[in-house]
């Protein structure tokens, strides 16, 4: 951690400690935390990794991932990844100024049609389970070789949640977007789509790293307070083994996530690094949540206990943007593409062999 990231880490922790999880406040605001968002905006982190000439705060993916780890640790109910790493990056990639306020990012799927029309594009259909759509001031849609900027009111939001209670909304569109808010990609569309998916997966892995660390901290503290047979349960060898296993998974996840962030910044083996990081993070999410609840007993499942903020998010983020099976399949493809003798260079970073596409075969 360099001096800049260390200072940023301290600043984000400070505002999260002041404006972080408040269950009653989140219920009043449809599951997101506008006070925390405003505080993060005031210290200039909500557009990290977006170039300054397009209204961002600059910085790289490594820095943004460091912030995500802290936000995951505090179960922060804000769309940081969607604004900075995804939507903001798409707009900046088109040479467009990023508007103020929280953003949501959408990749147009088969249920969302975009057709050219006089003076713009016609949008119709539905985008499913869009993270934080209800909280966003603008929606940014990637549709093949175009990026479309919409006001939230131009879509009809049907609220949904993941198992942690975070917004995952369906958004229905039946509107015409004027040409001045439709932008052409500067890069090759498949490459932009690939990068968008990598960043989405990396963001969930980084959040898991933070939430797993928080679950470990809570469990270590509880094991030191809870007594059985006249001594704290942390004195029992079985509990110590559980805590050691959790600590190992937390450290492994952090290292894998930070290595993947470097790979995305340098565009060097990013697909392998991100798939490996999400696989490691998913496995850690399962083990850490399981052992944390085993040590806490029934107390950890209650609505009032803070452990649920971490473990429900671990379970939710584990399945989002590719679970272990999906990410392991990506790794399989790269191992096969590397061929005989290519495995060690692939996993050590000495060589990276892209998976052949249909066009290149």
CATH number at residue 100: 2.40.110.10
One domain, residues 217 and 168: no
Q: Answer whether residue 361 is part of any domain.
A: no
Average pLDDT, the chain: 92
CATH number of the domain at 264, please.
Answer: 1.20.140.10
135-155 confidence digits (pLDDT tens): 999 999 999 999 999 999 999
One domain, residues 92 and 229: no
One domain, residues 155 and 303: no
Q: What's the chain's Rg over C-alpha atoms?
A: 21
* 8 A C-beta contact, residue 47 and residue 98: yes
Quote the pLDDT of residue 244.
Answer: 98
Collect contacts of 41-47 with beta carbons under 8 A, ≥24 apart. 41/100, 43/11, 43/12, 43/15, 45/8, 45/11, 45/12, 45/80, 45/84, 46/80, 46/83, 46/84, 46/102, 47/83, 47/84, 47/88, 47/98
Q: Answer whether residue 170 is part of any domain.
A: yes
Query: 207: Cβ–Cβ under 8 A, 6 or more apart, which residues?
Result: 68, 69, 71, 72, 81, 313, 317
Tokens of 102: 């929280």
Range with lowest mean pLDDT among 60-74, 91-105, 118-132, 293-307: 293-307
Place of tokens 């060589």: 351
Alpha helices in the chain (DSSP H): 3-19, 23-28, 34-42, 61-73, 80, 88-93, 189-225, 237-266, 270-296, 307-319, 324-338, 343-348
One domain, residues 161 and 202: no
Q: Answer whether residue 346 is part of any domain.
A: no
One domain, residues 237 and 173: no
One domain, residues 221 and 172: no
Q: Answer whether residue 345 is part of any domain.
A: no
| Last residue in a domain, options 162, 184, 206 | 184
The tally of domains found in the chain comes to 2
| Last residue in a domain, options 168, 184, 200 | 184
One domain, residues 174 and 200: no
| Last residue in a domain, options 184, 200, 220 | 184
One domain, residues 200 and 169: no
Q: Answer whether residue 293 is part of any domain.
A: yes
Q: What is the pTM of this model?
A: 0.93
Going by pLDDT thresholds of 50, 70 and 90, the confidence category of residue 25 is low
Range with lowest mean pLDDT among 115-119, 179-183, 287-291: 115-119
Quote the pLDDT of residue 238.
Answer: 96
Full domain range(s) for residue 206? 189-339
320-359 confidence digits (pLDDT tens): 999 999 999 999 999 999 888 888 888 777 655 566 655 5
Percent pLDDT > 70 in the chain is 94
What is the pLDDT averaged over residues 54-76? 95
Quote the pLDDT of residue 203.
Answer: 98
Percent pLDDT > 90 in the chain is 83
């Amino acid at each position: 951690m360099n001096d800049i990231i260390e200072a940023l880490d301290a600043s984000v922790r400070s505002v999260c400690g002041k404006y972080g999880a408040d269950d009653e406040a989140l219920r009043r605001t449809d599951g997101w935390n506008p006070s925390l968002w405003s505080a993060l905006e005031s210290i200039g982190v909500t557009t990290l990794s977006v170039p300054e000439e397009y209204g961002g705060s600059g910085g790289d993916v490594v820095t943004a991932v460091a912030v995500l780890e802290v936000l995951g640790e505090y179960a922060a109910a804000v769309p940081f990844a969607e604004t900075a790493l995804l939507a903001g990056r798409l707009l900046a990639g088109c040479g467009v100024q990023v508007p103020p306020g929280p953003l949501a990012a959408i990749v147009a799927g088969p249920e969302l049609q975009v057709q050219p029309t006089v003076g713009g594009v016609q949008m119709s259909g539905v985008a499913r389970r869009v993270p934080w759509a209800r909280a966003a001031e603008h929606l940014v849609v990637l549709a093949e070789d175009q990026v479309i900027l919409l006001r939230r009111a131009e879509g009809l939001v049907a609220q949904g949640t993941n198992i942690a209670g975070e917004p995952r909304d369906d958004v229905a569109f039946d509107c015409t977007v004027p040409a001045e808010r439709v932008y052409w990609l500067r890069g090759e569309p498949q490459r932009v789509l690939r990068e968008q998916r990598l960043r989405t997966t990396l963001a969930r892995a980084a959040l898991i790293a933070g939430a797993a660390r928080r679950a470990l901290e809570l469990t270590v503290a509880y094991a030191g307070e809870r007594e059985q047979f006249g001594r704290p349960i942390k004195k029992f060898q079985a509990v110590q083994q559980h805590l050691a296993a959790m600590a190992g998974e937390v450290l492994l996840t952090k290292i894998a996530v930070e290595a993947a962030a470097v790979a995305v910044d340098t565009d060097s083996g990013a697909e392998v690094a991100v798939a490996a990081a999400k696989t490691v993070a998913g496995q850690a999410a399962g083990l850490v949540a399981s052992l944390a609840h085993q040590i806490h007993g029934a107390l950890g499942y209650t609505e009032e206990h803070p452990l649920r903020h971490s473990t429900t998010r671990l379970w939710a983020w584990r399945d989002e943007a590719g679970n272990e099976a999906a990410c392991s399949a990506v790794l399989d493809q790269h191992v096969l593409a590397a061929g005989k003798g290519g495995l060690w260079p692939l996993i050590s970073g000495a060589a990276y062999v892209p998976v052949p596409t249909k066009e290149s075969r």
